[in-house]
A = this chain, B = another copy of it.
Amino acid sequence: MADGSIKRIGVLTGGGDCPGLNAVLRAIAKSAINLFSWEVIGIEDGFDGLIDPSRNEPLTLDRVRGILPRGGTILGTTNRSNPFAYRAASDSTPIDLSEQVVKNIKKLGLDALIVIGGDGTLAIAQEFSGMGVRLVGIPKTIDNDLVGTDVTFGFDTAVVTATEAIDKLHTTAESHHRVMVLEVMGRNAGWIAIESGIAGGADIICIPEIPFRIESALAAISARDAAGSKFSIAVVAEGAMPEGGHPMRIDDGTTSPRYAGIGTWLGDQLASRTEHEVRITVLGHLQRGGSPSPFDRVLATRFGTEATRLVADGGFGQMVAYHGPDVESVPLADVVGTTKTVPPDGEHVQTARALGICLCD
């Protein structure tokens, strides 16, 4: 049933690292070797390893042994590289090296490619697909902002890390009658903020999808004070924005302007406008690290084996996807270029409101 013309495939990881990448690589190598006896070549550092054809290594059964529970990616990754607009240095003029990549794919004898990455990496993959490269995509994002799939690996682990942080801040908040602000990842989408906020029992949640008003947060804190709960926990996505904009806006020409240190800014506002001591924690890269949660290990493994089957079945230009409880596939073309955000009137937000959480609108 498998495509007999395939003998050797390449696999690469692009974009920010994410718990579960190694689990995917292991699943691809094991299933490709066990089911089809293919040779699997690991490309190093995303598409960089196809610009320079010497940067790769065989993914043998030995090489992938023991990597299932480990975070990160043994292949390396980068979130700066785009062969269609490659910059040798950050201030270089971008040049198009896409033809070189296509040549190197042939030179390396790769009959197909599996590309694991987020929106940026998959958009590049889709372009190569249009140039005739036979490839299959695997979605990867901490932020859960990819369309076409219910969820991807990495998100659950990030929510676990953020929720553990809220659990920890709770006791200090309560003991000191403080307001604790936690800034979590989510530049365009508030999934981590809203899920960890619900899971951790936050009192205030600010997400990019709902511009926030300081006055709402202040009112929520006052109401809690009045009810005898003299502390509050606020969870803020890094991309949350105050209504009407604010002076910390960083407009770098992309479609998604953002705000440096919104957690710090919000914390400072709350400190100056309440009687509470306020403490701010920026969770940062801790959300990307660590051993993947079992949920993410299983999902990553299912994605990896499904991608291998897709290659065998000739399902090129597709991306594997989770449509719970099944792993299926969707056209890459339907996925790239859009972002899955938290619906402001959706069930997550309604659930938060039902619990009495202040969304600050």
Contact = CB atoms under 8 A, between A and B. Distances in A.
Contacts of A201: 68-69
A175 B13 CA distance: 10
Contacts of A282: 281-282
A22 to B, nearest CB: 9
B168 A355 contact: no
Contact of A289 (B17, B71, B169): B169
Contacts of A293: 160, 293
A324 B327 contact: no
Interface in A12-40: 13, 16-17, 19, 21, 27, 30-31, 34-35
A290 to B, nearest CB: 4
| Range for the number of chain A residues in contact with chain B | 35 or more
Given A17-B176, A77-B176, A163-B294, A30 B354 contact: yes
B289 A159 contact: no
Contacts of A140: none
Contacts of A351: 27, 301-302, 305-306
Query: Which residue among A168, A169, A280, A323 has the maximum number of chain B CB atoms within 10 Å of its CB?
Result: A168
A345 interface: no
A213 interface: no
Contacts of A238: none
Query: Which residue among A35, A156, A322, A354 has the maximum number of chain B CB atoms within 10 Å of its CB?
Result: A354
A73 interface: yes
A170 to B, nearest CB: 7
Interface string A223-244: 0000000000000000000000
A156 B294 CA distance: 8
A159 B299 CA distance: 13
Each complex incorporates copies of this chain amounting to 4
B281 A354 contact: no
A112 B150 CA distance: 34
A285 B71 contact: no
Interface string A149-166: 011000010011111110
Contacts of A21: 175
A71 B167 CA distance: 9
Contact of A199 (B279, B285, B298, B356): B298
Contacts of A145: none
A290 B347 contact: no
Contacts of A348: 302
14 contacts: A21-B175, A31-B354, A35-B354, A72-B172, A72-B174, A159-B295, A160-B293, A163-B297, A167-B290, A168-B285, A171-B290, A172-B285, A280-B284, A295-B295
* Closest 6 pairs between A and B when the two form their complex, measured CB to CB: A324-B324, A168-B289, A72-B171, A71-B171, A72-B175, A199-B294
